Amino acid sequence: MANGSGTLSKSSRCSEHRIRRRVQFHETDAAGIVHFSCFFRYMEEAEHALWRAAGLSIVRSAGGLGFPRVAANFEFHRPLRFEDEFDVSIRIVAIKKKSIGYACSITRGDERVATGTLTIVCVSRRPGGEMKAAPIPAEIADRFEVAAVGDVT
Amino acid sequence: MANGSGTLSKSSRCSEHRIRRRVQFHETDAAGIVHFSCFFRYMEEAEHALWRAAGLSIVRSAGGLGFPRVAANFEFHRPLRFEDEFDVSIRIVAIKKKSIGYACSITRGDERVATGTLTIVCVSRRPGGEMKAAPIPAEIADRFEVAAVGDVT
Amino acid sequence: MANGSGTLSKSSRCSEHRIRRRVQFHETDAAGIVHFSCFFRYMEEAEHALWRAAGLSIVRSAGGLGFPRVAANFEFHRPLRFEDEFDVSIRIVAIKKKSIGYACSITRGDERVATGTLTIVCVSRRPGGEMKAAPIPAEIADRFEVAAVGDVT
Amino acid sequence: MANGSGTLSKSSRCSEHRIRRRVQFHETDAAGIVHFSCFFRYMEEAEHALWRAAGLSIVRSAGGLGFPRVAANFEFHRPLRFEDEFDVSIRIVAIKKKSIGYACSITRGDERVATGTLTIVCVSRRPGGEMKAAPIPAEIADRFEVAAVGDVT
């Protein structure tokens, strides 16, 4: 999970993260496998762990800003079952002025379980709750960088 | 669903409510039945529908107050399975200065599926997010009354 | 929800379906909006309602076959909030020998909330639980047809 | 987490277990705190970890038997918020011929967050899916024992 080399400033930035998880019973469904909606939760758990690894909280660091998800997808290759242990690897694939793109890989040992992507956008909240896209603050953007290709298995 | 009789003011108060629901696939688990944690969600769905039937929203009506749950329990008599249709009946069993108590019955046709209780407390939020018990505002308390015994099957 | 025209046999086939839903409290998150993972559950709820409208249960009709999801995605345009009423429209966009593709549109009144797709594959289960792609049985495939373009707003 | 002393056979039995968890975003609700239904999932996660600590899987060890929940309750003392770290301690308080009773304590540092109980019953499944209470097999019952009073804070 170390993020490469490069200059000193770059080496302190986070670009990817991996968490290990075990399937909980409430995540399974009557087909005996993890419900597909839970994979999106796994991806987000890894994303938030990446932010913590960067010294940030996606909720508390943002000073009134929020990071709603604007796109998410998964391809499911193999099922996960109760008590399976698996890894969720997330990698930053794009950092734009107002958005961040991630790629996610879920594996169980050597097996590829699922592959996903997630795009979040930085928003400010107006009175009434309406959201408007806003630039990612430098103190957040400076903690991250796009991952080198192929870092996540 | 009618809430008793009595004076005109009383007759406009709500004391119980019933919703019909169908089991969704994501609510089932690998045992092929609804996960027990979902029953607490069913009970809350019926509670919030009761508030709507009383002309209220438990979130928007409260003017900065909140209604966290302080106690909840269920006894499970029979399982629910995917696509089962069932009824969730909730009934007010206690209204105190700062709290409301409910009893809940989940049935599928003539069968008793589960029986629960729920207690909520009215709280104000202090700066920093701390919660403190507060009297239920009259405009909320006046919409509800304790149900007559035995109203819910 | 009418499914097009065509021959008599065709007219009895289902190609799209719409359900109306209200946001439940347990579906919201600390950002005050529906958690993005719940949209995938909404899409599946509409899919299963489509199967029921076709006289089928995706679990019980399949005679030992299953229909795991192999791909799912959503783009999120606007948030949903507690007690919002919204519509989930699902439409069959592809029927292949072993898979079905859907497009899904979530709307609140005139507003476009989210747009998704879902691909399911028919599988048989081998001893040990392994899944293998299998042809969709005729008694299932014959109940469905691809929706005419543009049927879902 | 060591389970007391006593005879050699007793010392190899499990009576309690503790897991550390962090609040995930999808577990929070629009009130900014963990939804109360998730506490029941936390309790079950600790229970299944206790079974694993005893060398068992509650699903795979049971040889066709199942362990549905027949009663569950929680009292909620303090809220949990996003990214809070907390402990879930579960303790066996009763082992009967066909059922097991647990007590559960959720704490965050020194703070008492919630206190619950859970009762599970051993069942066999008849053709058609009906469940019937059955004696807990010796190879399972022999792995557990009732916890000494006061072991869990």
Question: Could you report the per-residue pLDDT of C54-92, keeping only the tens digit for each?
Answer: 999 999 876 789 999 999 999 999 999 999 999 999 999
CA distance D83 to C41: 24
- For residue A80, the chain B residue with the least C-alpha distance is B30
**pLDDT computed for residue A3 by the predictor:** 38
CA distance D145 to D14: 6
Residues B129, D32: C-beta atoms closer than 8 Å? yes
**Please, which residues 106-125 of chain B have a Cβ atom closer than 8 Å to chain A?**
none
Average pLDDT of chain A to the nearest whole number: 90
**pLDDT computed for residue B122 by the predictor:** 97
Count how many Cα atoms sit within 13 Å of the Cα of residue A28 in the half-sphere of its side chain.
21
**In degrees, to the nearest 5, what angle opens at C-alpha D113 toward C-alphas D107 and D116?**
95
**pLDDT computed for residue A127 by the predictor:** 75
Highest mean pLDDT pick, A9-13, A91-95, C149-153 = A91-95
> In chain B, pLDDT over 90 holds for what percent of residues?
80
Query: CA distances (Å), D62 to each of D13, D65, D136, in order?
Result: 18, 5, 9
CA distance C1 to C18: 7
Evaluate if residue B109 carries a pLDDT over 80. Answer: yes
Question: Does residue C21 sit at the B interface (CB-CB below 8 Å)?
Answer: no
pLDDT in tens, chain D (153 residues): 333 333 335 558 999 999 999 999 999 999 999 999 999 999 999 999 999 999 999 998 767 899 999 999 999 999 999 999 999 999 999 999 999 999 999 999 999 999 999 999 999 988 777 899 999 999 999 999 999 875 444
**pLDDT computed for residue A130 by the predictor:** 84
- Among D69, D81, D104, D111, most B C-beta atoms within 10 A, so best to mutate, is D69
Task: Tell me the backbone φ, ψ of residue C88, rounded to 5 degrees.
Answer: -120, 115
**pLDDT computed for residue A11 by the predictor:** 57
Evaluate if residue B5 carries a pLDDT over 70. Answer: no
Question: Does the CA dihedral D41-D43-D49-D54 come out positive or negative?
Answer: negative
Chain A: partners with 3+ C-beta pairs within 8 Å: B, C, D
- Helices within B3-137 (DSSP H only): 8-11, 36-53
CA distance B44 to D33: 16
Nearest to A66 by CA among A127, A112, A121, A144: A121
Question: Does residue D71 sit at the B interface (CB-CB below 8 Å)?
Answer: yes
User: Span A34-62, mean pLDDT?
Assistant: 95
Q: Residue A58 has which token pair? A: 């996606």
- Helices within A28-130 (DSSP H only): 36-53
Residues B26, A30: C-beta atoms closer than 8 Å? no
- For residue C45, the chain A residue with the least C-alpha distance is A37
Reported as a pLDDT band with limits 50, 70 and 90, residue A102 is: very high
Local structure of C138: helix, strand or coil: helix
User: Span A70-94, mean pLDDT?
Assistant: 98
CA A129 to chain centre: 25
| Three-class HEC string of chain D | CCCCCCCHHHHCCECEEEEEEECCHHHECCCCCECHHHHHHHHHHHHHHHHHHCCCCCCHHHCCEECCEEEEEEEECCCCCCCCEEEEEEEEEEECCCEEEEEEEEEECCEEEEEEEEEEECEEECCCCCEEECCCCHHHHCCECCCCCCCCC
- Among A33, A36, A57, A78, most C C-beta atoms within 10 A, so best to mutate, is A36
Local structure of C43: helix, strand or coil: helix
Name the β-bridge partners of A68.
none
CA distance C33 to C81: 5
**pLDDT computed for residue C129 by the predictor:** 74
pLDDT, tens digit (0-9, with 9 covering 90-100), for B31-56: 999 999 999 999 999 999 999 999 99
CA distance B92 to D127: 40
C1 DSSP 8-state letter: -
User: Span A21-43, mean pLDDT?
Assistant: 97
The ipTM estimated for the assembled molecules is 0.90
Q: Residue D10 has which token pair? A: 């007793």
Backbone region of residue A150 per phi and psi (left: phi > 0; alpha: psi in -120 to 50; beta: other values): left
Contact (CB, 8 A) for B79 and B112: no
Chain C residues within 8 A of B52 when measuring between CB atoms: 83
Contact (CB, 8 A) for A124 and A135: no
User: Span A88-117, mean pLDDT?
Assistant: 98
Count how many Cα atoms sit within 13 Å of the Cα of residue C36 in the half-sphere of its side chain.
28
Count how many Cα atoms sit within 13 Å of the Cα of residue C66 in the half-sphere of its side chain.
17
**pLDDT computed for residue B127 by the predictor:** 74
CA distance D51 to C91: 44
Contact (CB, 8 A) for A124 and A131: yes
Question: Does residue B133 sit at the D interface (CB-CB below 8 Å)?
Answer: no
Pick the residue with more confidence: A91 or C11? A91
CA distance A106 to A153: 9
Contact (CB, 8 A) for D49 and A25: no
CB atoms within 10 A of CB A25: 20
User: Span B51-65, mean pLDDT?
Assistant: 88
Residues C70, A75: C-beta atoms closer than 8 Å? yes
CA distance C51 to C92: 11
Where is average pLDDT lowest: A9-18, B53-62, C88-97, D72-81?
Answer: A9-18
**pLDDT computed for residue A61 by the predictor:** 74
**pLDDT computed for residue D128 by the predictor:** 73
Residues C75, A76: C-beta atoms closer than 8 Å? no
Reported as a pLDDT band with limits 50, 70 and 90, residue C128 is: confident
Evaluate if residue A150 carries a pLDDT over 70. Answer: no
**pLDDT computed for residue A63 by the predictor:** 72
User: Span C106-111, mean pLDDT?
Assistant: 98
For chain B, the straight-line distance linking the first and the last C-alpha, in angstroms and rounded, comes to 11
Evaluate if residue A79 carries a pLDDT over 90. Answer: yes
CA distance B140 to B84: 34
Residues B71, D69: C-beta atoms closer than 8 Å? no
- For residue C45, the chain B residue with the least C-alpha distance is B24
- For residue B82, the chain C residue with the least C-alpha distance is C59
Question: Does residue A52 sit at the D interface (CB-CB below 8 Å)?
Answer: yes
Evaluate if residue B90 carries a pLDDT over 60. Answer: yes
Task: Tell me the backbone φ, ψ of residue A20, rounded to 5 degrees.
Answer: -105, 135
**pLDDT computed for residue D12 by the predictor:** 80
Contacts of B83 (CB under 8 A, 6+ apart): B22, B23, C48, C52, C57, C59, C60
**pLDDT computed for residue D125 by the predictor:** 85
Min distance D38 CA to chain C CA atoms (Å): 9
Contacts of A21 (CB under 8 A, 6+ apart): A42, A45, A85, A86, A87, A88
Pick the residue with more confidence: A150 or D8? A150
User: Span A65-76, mean pLDDT?
Assistant: 97
Q: Roughly what angle, to the nearest 10 degrees, separates helices B36-53 and D36-53?
A: 170
Pick the residue with more confidence: B5 or A22? A22
CA distance C79 to A21: 29
